[in-house]
Structure 1
Amino acid sequence: MPRRFLQRYMPHPDTLRRQRSLRFMGHLIGNPSLWVLSRRSVANAFSVGLFSAMLPIPFQMMVAAFGAWLVRCNLPLAVGLVWITNPLTMPLIFYGNYRLGAWLMDTPVRQAPSRLSTRWVAEQMADILPALAVGSVASALVIAILGNVAIRLIWRWQVSRSWKQRARRRRKRRRQEQAP
């Protein structure tokens, strides 16, 4: 991943520390090791953020922030990736997690009524929750591992490509200098 690209979109720690709603986390936000953009910190941030995003729990961003602190990875990326499960994508992702959990547990999938309501979900929660939890943890683990590996490979590819481009420019410059 290009470091400059990521730095362009990341907020500055001082900006966040000055916000009134985040003052209680000032010591966490100000920790320089949580703002490093290296292959390891970015890949681990993807793992933490994607894992937290797949969990059907409230306060996913707090879980991602704590995970970033625990693993010592990039805090803004870990917290930002939680928004993969936003209000538009959440129903589809969690339904997929439920289906995966039902398949893993070898239980029948509950069919939704023609008119889905919060009352129906509340009544069925005892039956749905185990499959949703198993499916969410399974998909979170798989997606976190795949995200980590993908970021590490992309980062390596980018560095390799950059080295090759620099070598080409050096060879071209030498040829121009040697030409009479």
Structure 2
Amino acid sequence: MKKLLKHYSPNQNELKNHKSLGWLSQYLTNPSLWNFNRKSVSKAFAVGLFCAFVPVPFQMLLAAPSAIIFSANLPVAIALVWITNPITMPPIFYACYKLGAWVLGVGVEQDFVMSLAYVWQVFDVIWQPFLLGCLIVSVVSSIIGYFSIQFIYRLRVYKRKSKKN
């Protein structure tokens, strides 16, 4: 899998000399943005999972600069925001709303309807539990993602070393 991802990732020299990227090309030459190693991929999971549960449109536009700032693998961070896509977004964000309502100790709207019109109608009631639930899920999932990738990489190294012995 790592070889396949490396094959389709852009070359650093191509990015550096690409005229259409303009001022952005200077930020895209950081090797960590394109390396598939333990540090950059685990940071990418943290960034991508955090941004995936932030309730804003075009989450990739939030994940890309975050990956650049934290020197995380850019393609992985951007791909992970698609966990919340148009199909999965309603149930995930409803679960975030229920979590936030539970933490705040407020009642959940009993006649909740999965429609944008209804959400706008009751937004003044649901916005606090919804945003709190999204924040909790963002933080917890990014921490779990970061340490899971760290653990998986270390486990793979341990298995490789034990096979050699």
Q: State the shift of 1:165 in Å.
A: 1.7
Q: How far apart in 2 are the matches of 1:35 and 1:14?
A: 9
Structure-2-length-normalised TM-score: 0.86
The AA in structure 1 aligned to 2:10 is: P
Does the residue aligned with 2:27 lie in a helix, a strand or coil?
helix
* TM-score, scaled to structure 1: 0.80
**Structure 2: which 5+ residue stretches go unaligned?**
none
Q: Which amino acid aligns with 1:39?
A: R
Question: Bigger CA drift: 70-79 or 29-38?
Answer: 29-38
CA distance in 2, matches of 1:7, 1:93: 32
Asked if structure 2 preserves the Cα contact closer than 8 Å seen for 1:14 and 1:30, the reply is no
Aligned to 2:44: 45
* Residue from 126, 134, 143 that aligns with 1:145: 143
Greater CA radius of gyration, 1 or 2? 1
How big is each residue's C-alpha offset from its partner over 1:92-132, in whole Å with a ceiling of 9 and x where there is no partner?
Answer: 1101100000011111101235x654322211111111111
What is the CA-CA distance between 1:29 and the residue it aligns to? 3.2
1:25-174 paired onto structure 2 within 5 Å: 25-113=24-112, 116-167=114-165
Unaligned segments of structure 1, at least 5 residues: 168-180
Q: Which residue of 2 aligns with 1:171?
A: none
1:12 aligns with: 9
Q: Any conservation in 2 of the 1:47–1:145 contact (CA below 8 Å)?
A: yes
Tell me the alpha carbon deviations over residues 135-169 of structure 1, each in whole angstroms, 9 at most, x when there is no partner. 000111111111111111111110111112223xx
Cα RMSD (Å) of the superposition? Answer: 2.3
Q: Percent identity?
A: 38
Give the residue type in structure 1 aligned to 2:63: A
